[in-house]
Structure 1
Amino acid sequence: MSKMSTDLIRHALNGPTMGTRWSALFFSKPGIDVEPVRHALQAAVTEVDDQMSTWNPHSDLMRINRLPPGDWISAPARLVEVLRLGLAIGQASGGAFEVCMGDAVAAWGFGPQAPAGERIRHALAAPRRPGWEILDVEDGRLRKRGAVLLDLNGIAKGYGTDRLSAVLVTFGITSFLVGIDGEMRAAGLRPDGTPWSIAVEQPDHARRAVHSMLTLSDAAVATSGDYRHWINAGHARLSHTMDPARGAPVISGPASVTVVAASCAEADAWATALLVLGPECGSMVLQRNGLEALFLLRGTTGEITSRKTGRLFESGASAPAAPWSTGV
């Protein structure tokens, strides 16, 4: 390691957001005041949460959800940006990713309220038009063409991670690793010239363990899975990921899907979509959209097998636990 790299100071910042923590790891020359950086990072993710939270009744998203369809509604620029991306990925995934699933998410108990039988029956029976047909989005405003509740939980943390990345760049910091929960984005290289190492979690309900490692530079990674957020329905454990075709949690899906993409918002949304699609249909969609992914599949006796798409995951190898991991 060069003397220059050993002279750099390691900074590991974090703070609360979206019911979890954001984190930022970077190195700098001695003497930098990191407090303005910390405050700017916190402000960036707070802005995302204030606009896109379904847990905060005063967020812009919940304000829009309360308004009737038909009229144009003012919306902040970042919310519009995320809705546009979500609608585009929804269309590219054949509807596997859907921003208009707020009713189902709430009915099944994955929002602030407990699950409710009547709302579940309505979510299951409700005819669904895809988001790109029922939602018009323009700069600074949007219009709902029908009664719909928006939910951005499958993309907001990824977008928040992208905002962390953008803030560091404004401070002239171009090599870093940032994340919210298991959504991560890497830029540049570590001081010793190596990429950033990220652990892919074993999809285990009971404990946190590492399945494999990947290295990233100038890319983002996100994981969706069935092993962190679920509800028990009788003898079944139901994942928080909704199948738009059913208005209900995904059943018989992969244990987890990890996706690498250019932005973390894209990786986040695509990981959700591929959990719905599964490895067969998902692999074809991945190839069409130039993405890389790792499917972890749970066998009938609990064994985990993998299915990989893309060069990055083909070269991955098992490794001991690491402090930075992608998981849900």
Structure 2
Amino acid sequence: MTSRMFEPVRVVLVSVFMTLAVAALAGCSFQEQEKVWEISGGIFGTTYHINVVLPEDKERLQTLAQGIQRELEAVDASMSTWKQDSELSRWNRKPDQTEWTELSPALFEVIQRSIEIAELSDGAFDITIGPVVNLWGFGPDARPETVPPDTVLEEALAGIGYRYLELNAETMALRSAKPQYIDLSGIAKGYGVDVVARYLDREGVQAYLVEIGGEVRVNGRKPDGGAWRLAIEQPSEGARQVNKIVAMDQHAMATSGDYRNYYESDGVRYSHTIDPSTGKPITNRMASVTVITEDCMTADALATAFTVMGFERARALSIRENIPAYFIVRGENGFEVHETPAFSSFVVQ
């Protein structure tokens, strides 16, 4: 999450919604009463595009747009590490984290789910890895002039670990046995998608597609009765291309990959995804992994965990837990694709 600024929220009528990485790829034949409207804006250092199926009512659409922005700004104000006054940043700065600190329901929910995903993935997803992420220059701190030495990484790793965190469900409070710096960048964006979906549900919107920075959640169907069609991107650094298309009328989808966010130093490429077991950017064959779950914060966190785990371990876990997952792996002769049995039912092309 960053504090970069974007254009104000806007509402437009959509005849064909087409954003290659995550959008509906087919046009719609709309009924007279209902059309697809796109509400777009900026948050978390990225952009969002929300498609809602509603009759034309400019006042209601504007109210929805304002409500969506308000909901997302509340998430940012709670969970951003880029904002010094956020709820999470204030906890990260606490001099004594062994004392119980009551959290907002939203922050408690996300940290609780993060710990569950950490347990499921045997620590591949760890929200306490923030200090190491910062050492590599992928957090709010400035990028280092040199690659951090092993001694510095070992010292940082020695003090972190999600197992030091303790939650109290009755009081919605958090404490830690050791000082920790929590970074929710691997799950908060997905949670933001869920927050918007919940808001639209409360407002009586029965069909929608919510996309924030590539993470997606859908509900209902388009006016022509068709499901929402979503594209999985080919993991290449050039022009964007479609690798696979899935269709859904509910569920959420998140993709993680190392082909967009990275930097090079002395000819070596460093991925933004850090392996908590080594404190170093991942070097496995995984180019991209897409996960489908009921809620987007779970899909977001699992996609990150699977990327860290590598193909073999991630595939075994996803099959064991019946998680729909799609893997694009670097092979000797180019990209190889693999999908779990649970994923196959979503594929249309």
Question: Does the TM-score normalized on the shorter chain lie above 0.5?
Answer: yes
Contact (CA 8 Å) 1:253, 1:276: kept in 2 or not? no
Contact (CA 8 Å) 1:155, 1:266: kept in 2 or not? yes
SS of equivalent residue, structure 1 residue 153: coil
Q: Deviation at 1:23?
A: 1.6
Q: TM-score, normalised by structure 2?
A: 0.85
Q: Deviation at 1:244?
A: 0.7
Q: Which residue of 2 aligns with 1:135?
A: 165
Contact (CA 8 Å) 1:279, 1:307: kept in 2 or not? no
Contact (CA 8 Å) 1:225, 1:275: kept in 2 or not? yes
Letter in 2 for 1:22: Y
Q: Which residue of 2 aligns with 1:307?
A: 338
Q: Does 1:93 align with 2:121?
A: yes
SS of equivalent residue, structure 1 residue 252: coil
| 2:153 aligned to which of 92, 114, 123 | 123
Q: Deviation at 1:91?
A: 0.2
Q: In 1, distance between residues paired with 2:28 and 2:313?
A: 47
| 2:48 aligned to which of 10, 16, 22 | 22
Q: In 2, distance between residues paired with 1:24 and 1:233?
A: 37
Q: 1:312 to 1:288 in 2, by over 3 A?
A: closer
For 1:14-93, what aligned pairs fall within 5 Å after superposition?
14-31=40-57, 33-68=60-95, 69-93=97-121
The size of the alignment, in residue pairs, is: 316
Q: Which residue of 1 aligns with 2:9?
A: none
Q: Does 1:209 align with 2:241?
A: yes
Q: In 2, distance between residues paired with 1:14 and 1:283?
A: 35
Structure 2, unaligned stretches of length 5 or more? 1-26
Q: 1:209 to 1:109 in 2, by over 3 A?
A: same
Farther off after superposition, 65-74 or 141-150: 65-74
Q: Deviation at 1:305?
A: 1.2
Contact (CA 8 Å) 1:308, 1:314: kept in 2 or not? no
Contact (CA 8 Å) 2:159, 2:178: kept in 1 or not? no
Letter in 1 for 2:104: P
What are the superposed Cα offsets for residues 68-95 of structure 1, whole Å, 9 maximum, x if unpaired?
3311123211011000000001001111
What are the superposed Cα offsets for residues 32-84 of structure 1, whole Å, 9 maximum, x if unpaired?
52111011100111111111111111111111111133111232110110000
Q: Deviation at 1:307?
A: 1.1
Q: Deviation at 1:2?
A: 11
Letter in 2 for 1:307: H
Q: Which residue of 2 aligns with 1:316?
A: 347
Letter in 2 for 1:309: T
Q: In 1, distance between residues paired with 2:42 and 2:216?
A: 16
Farther off after superposition, 228-237 or 18-27: 228-237
What are the superposed Cα offsets for residues 199-257 of structure 1, whole Å, 9 maximum, x if unpaired?
10111123322111111121000000001111213222111111010112111240010
Q: Which residue of 1 aligns with 2:31?
A: 5
Q: Which residue of 2 aligns with 1:199?
A: 231
What are the superposed Cα offsets for residues 115-146 of structure 1, whole Å, 9 maximum, x if unpaired?
33586642344326641x20112243210110
Q: TM-score, normalised by structure 1?
A: 0.90
Q: Does 1:107 align with 2:135?
A: yes
Contact (CA 8 Å) 1:107, 1:120: kept in 2 or not? no
Contact (CA 8 Å) 2:29, 2:223: kept in 1 or not? no
Q: 1:135 to 1:311 in 2, by over 3 A?
A: closer
Contact (CA 8 Å) 2:30, 2:224: kept in 1 or not? no
Q: 1:7 to 1:136 in 2, by over 3 A?
A: same
Q: In 1, distance between residues paired with 2:30 and 2:261?
A: 44
SS of equivalent residue, structure 2 residue 310: helix
For 1:182-197, what aligned pairs fall within 5 Å after superposition?
182-197=214-229
Q: In 2, distance between residues paired with 1:253 and 1:58?
A: 39
Q: 1:28 to 1:236 in 2, by over 3 A?
A: same
Q: In 1, distance between residues paired with 2:89 and 2:310?
A: 31
Q: Which residue of 1 aligns with 2:284?
A: 252
Q: In 1, distance between residues paired with 2:166 and 2:149?
A: 27
Letter in 1 for 2:242: V
Q: Which runs of 4+ in 1 moved over 6 A?
A: 1-4
Q: 1:120 to 1:313 in 2, by over 3 A?
A: farther
Q: 1:246 to 1:56 in 2, by over 3 A?
A: same
Q: Deviation at 1:306?
A: 0.6
Contact (CA 8 Å) 1:108, 1:114: kept in 2 or not? no
Farther off after superposition, 107-116 or 254-263: 107-116
What are the superposed Cα offsets for residues 266-298 of structure 1, whole Å, 9 maximum, x if unpaired?
000000000011121111211232211111012
Structure 1, unaligned stretches of length 5 or more? 319-328
Q: In 2, distance between residues paired with 1:151 and 1:123?
A: 17
Q: Does 1:289 align with 2:316?
A: no
Q: Does 1:264 align with 2:316?
A: no
Q: In 2, distance between residues paired with 1:113 and 1:142?
A: 25
